[in-house]
Amino acid sequence: MSILLIRHGETALNVARVLQPADTPLSARGIAQSEALARRLAWTDVAAVISSDLPRASRTAHAIAAATGAPLETSALLRERDFGDWRGQPYDGMAVNPLTMLEAPPGGESAAVFARRVARAFEHIVRRRTALGGTLAVVTHGLVIRALLASHLQLPDAAAAPAHLGNTSLSVLDAQPPHRIRVLNCTRHLDAGSHDDVTALSGG
């Protein structure tokens, strides 16, 4: 039994490369991506789904829950890093790189505060999976996944963290330490009509 780590479906602001307000919804293609992923997982042994409570993640998670019949719960611990007053601003026009900066943007989270929250989120995921006794699907955001890859998961031999995390990408990891990744950033469920845009922002 495993943990499935999933990035949410596409939003219009992903494609526009804009730091997203909390209430950003999925685009039409993001909804199609979520449904495609849900069809891929429909015949798996997903026993529960846990998701960020932000709409772009929870809408993706609802599709998976509906297809698998698994119960869905949300957690604010799985939210994207909070960029505070910078949300809604174009990423490419910023004087600093907000996705990698250590300092907190005005009204937002520093990298250290975000890392501590992700660590608590991962502890919660592992406890939930252990209590569940089955496969747990986790729907979250690009920077959360990057933080997990950097500090909490074991990459496959000779693999590096991907430069771009696809919308509705699926990674499969062992439920037990060292939480080795068996599948990384897979979007094979997407077809020509719902393909991932590799130029879109994969965090923020």
Average pLDDT per 10 consecutive residues for the chain, totaling 204 residues: 95 97 97 98 96 98 98 98 97 94 97 98 96 94 97 89 96 96 97 95 93
- What fold, for 2-186? Rossmann fold (3.40.50)
pTM: 0.97
Please report, for the chain, the start and end positions of each structural domain, with discontinuous segments joined by +: 2-186
Q: How far apart are CA 120 and CA 75, in angstroms?
A: 11
Q: What are phi and psi of 134, to 5 degrees?
A: -150, -175
